[in-house]
Amino acid sequence: MSRIKQESFYICSNCGYQSLKWLGRCPDCGEWNSLLEQSTAEASSTRFQSSQHPVLSLAQVPSGEMTRLQTGIGELDRVLGGGMVLGSCVLISGEPGIGKSTLTLQAAQQIADQGRKVLYASGEESPSQLKMRADRLNSHSPNLMVSFEGNVDRILNWIEADSPALLIVDSIQTVFLSDLPAAAGSIVQVRECASRLFACIKEKNIPLVLVGHVTKEGSIAGPKLLEHLVDVVLYFEGERATSTRLLRAQKNRFGDTTEIGLFRMTATGLVEVKESEHLFLEPSHGAGILTCALEGARVIPVEVQALVAQSYLSIPRRVTNGYDYNRFLMILAVYTKTISSLAQEDVYINVLGGFRLDDPASDLAVALAVGKNQRELSIPPVVALGELGLGGELRPVSALEKRMQTAIRLGFRNFIIPVAKAVEGEGVNVKPARTLKDAWQALKDLLKG
């Protein structure tokens, strides 16, 4: 490799780690091929002028109340914690085509309908493309101002002149500063553009929404570079084969990060999903085990299916869809030691409906789904709730009664839960279990006669 020039260095596009020489793998975050070359001239142009601030006692700092701007979209406000805080920065990221621009344009229209001026800076779409989306969403408020300028300095000039109630930049990787030699979307441009926009909104006390894409090259488009700078990080996700979309908060300085927003993509835009109980339940003739995931204040019933088949490989396959792979391996290890060996079998796990299951209370459902398919048991629908320990013990889960009441309303009557106080009702069959072996015996007791 040729000698590296002194006037250049390398920076990781995933975590920001800096190195004087190129490395194939970032030693900080472990990402491969994420170190990109930057010149010291570009880096020096992004240095900030330090300002003098007095040192105060914490008791001298005045207390301030957070004033929020309601977006008019209930699911979005739920995830934000009640609306966008004035002077805050919200980063919305997700895969291309998932619906980020649709969500932000609908929110802009709702706020504009309240009589507030909104500036929507679009650097990705042409005027005709944005007009087509606006026609589809019926967004024609005179208070919704649209800009197709990618120069941040001109955007800031318009903010000074018009003082909008909300600024939306779609997207952060398309805007640029003309005084920087780097190309739009580079690390230097993304950070410097975001920093100047931050300084402006903090001074004007208006909320800012940035849109960024998630890419396979370490998310250089914006999200990973800005997560530590912004106030709120939202991820918009979903399967393209389905119309369901989920909005999750990965970071929120002004609210809870456990709440999720549910939407359904239609021909006329995103529609809020108020009732989530049936959203991820699909008819499958009882092929799997049901569980109830807790997402913020919501209980979402989902079905976990497993497929256990003879393996013809030296190392059997382990595949998950909608479930954490490492946790799945842990559950299989406990299952192998407690119930039966899976050394010669491929195991597949699928969470129906495109839902990503992160709740530890689903451990028992995953383990029982594997056993049910391995032994080819034919049982009535059953709801399994319980966190699995490495010794095979079942640990209690939070909001157990709330989860069970939701399942009972949907018509489910068979439950396998850790030993705890359970919900009683007419026709409700609750089988408590202390260990995975007890839960497995309870599952076999449900065999159809």
Q: Reduce the DSSP state of residue 152 to 3 states and report it.
A: helix
Q: Are residues 387 and 263 in the same domain?
A: no
Q: State whether the Cα torsion 113-114-120-124 is positive or negative.
A: negative
Domain closes at, from 272, 305, 322? 272
Token reading at 300: 């979402």
Cβ neighbour number for residue 282 with a 10 Å cutoff: 11
At 4, the pLDDT band (50, 70, 90 cuts) reads: very low
Question: Which pLDDT score, from 0 to 100, does residue 11 have?
Answer: 77
DSSP state at residue 354: G
Domain span holding position 196: 68-272
**Model-level pTM?**
0.79
Q: Are residues 89 and 186 in the same domain?
A: yes
Q: State whether the Cα torsion 201-203-206-207 is positive or negative.
A: positive
Q: Are residues 295 and 263 in the same domain?
A: no
Token reading at 231: 């106030």
Q: Give the residue among 245, 258, 195, 260 at the shortest CA–CA distance from 222.
A: 195
The helix (H) or strand (E) run that includes residue 19 is strand 18-19
206-230 per-position pLDDT tens digit: 999 999 877 554 344 445 678 888 9
**Alpha-carbon separation of residue 41 from 8, 18, 151 (angstroms):** 8, 15, 20
Domain closes at, from 225, 241, 272? 272
Q: Are residues 78 and 121 in the same domain?
A: yes
At 70, the pLDDT band (50, 70, 90 cuts) reads: very high
Q: Reduce the DSSP state of residue 62 to 3 states and report it.
A: coil
Cβ neighbour number for residue 97 with a 10 Å cutoff: 10
For residue 117, being part of any structural domain is answered with yes
Angle subtended at Cα 207 by Cα 202 and Cα 208, rounded to the nearest 5 degrees: 95
For residue 62, being part of any structural domain is answered with no
For residue 278, being part of any structural domain is answered with no
Q: Are residues 320 and 219 in the same domain?
A: no
For residue 63, being part of any structural domain is answered with no
73-84 per-position pLDDT tens digit: 999 999 999 999
Beta carbons within 8 Å of 414's beta carbon, 6+ residues apart: 380, 381, 382, 383, 429, 431, 446
Domain closes at, from 239, 272, 305? 272
Q: Are residues 101 and 176 in the same domain?
A: yes
Is 38:10 a contact under the CB 8 Å cutoff? Answer: yes
Question: Which pLDDT score, from 0 to 100, does residue 10 have?
Answer: 81
Q: Are residues 193 and 325 in the same domain?
A: no
Q: State whether the Cα torsion 148-150-153-155 is positive or negative.
A: positive
The alpha carbon torsion through 160, 208, 80, 191 (nearest 10 deg) reads: -150
For residue 311, being part of any structural domain is answered with yes
Rounded distance between C-alpha atoms, residue 386 and residue 433, angstroms: 9
Comparing 333 with 9, which gets the higher pLDDT? 333
Rounded distance between C-alpha atoms, residue 371 and residue 368, angstroms: 5
Angle subtended at Cα 304 by Cα 300 and Cα 310, rounded to the nearest 5 degrees: 170
Q: Are residues 252 and 334 in the same domain?
A: no
Q: What is the DSSP string of 191-228?
A: HHHHHHHHHHHHHHT--EEEEEE--TTTSTTTHHHHTT
User: Phi, psi (5° rounding) for residue 344?
Assistant: -110, 20
> Looking at residue 229, which CATH number applies to its domain?
3.40.50.300
Q: Are residues 150 and 199 in the same domain?
A: yes
Radius of gyration of the chain from Cα atoms? 26
The helix (H) or strand (E) run that includes residue 8 is strand 8-12
Q: Are residues 259 and 206 in the same domain?
A: yes
Which range in 23-37, 206-220, 332-346, 416-430 is most confidently predicted, on average pLDDT? 332-346
Rounded distance between C-alpha atoms, residue 87 and residue 285, angstroms: 51
For residue 56, being part of any structural domain is answered with no
Q: Are residues 157 and 252 in the same domain?
A: yes
Mean pLDDT of 193-207: 92
Question: Which pLDDT score, from 0 to 100, does residue 37 have?
Answer: 76
Average pLDDT in the chain: 86
Rounded distance between C-alpha atoms, residue 227 and residue 71, angstroms: 22
Strand ranges (DSSP E) for 273-413? 289-295, 298-310, 318-321, 345-351, 383-384, 387-388, 394-395
188-197 per-position pLDDT tens digit: 888 889 999 9
Comparing 6 with 85, which gets the higher pLDDT? 85
Question: Which pLDDT score, from 0 to 100, does residue 14 have?
Answer: 66
Beta carbons within 8 Å of 411's beta carbon, 6+ residues apart: none
Is 302:366 a contact under the CB 8 Å cutoff? Answer: no
Q: What is the largest CA-CA distance in the chain?
A: 79
Q: Are residues 336 and 386 in the same domain?
A: yes
Question: Which pLDDT score, from 0 to 100, does residue 47 have?
Answer: 45
Q: Reduce the DSSP state of residue 278 to 3 states and report it.
A: coil
> Looking at residue 313, which CATH number applies to its domain?
3.30.230.10
347-372 per-position pLDDT tens digit: 999 998 888 899 999 999 999 999 99
- Domains held by the chain: number: 3
For residue 52, being part of any structural domain is answered with no
For residue 61, being part of any structural domain is answered with no
Question: Which pLDDT score, from 0 to 100, does residue 390 have?
Answer: 95
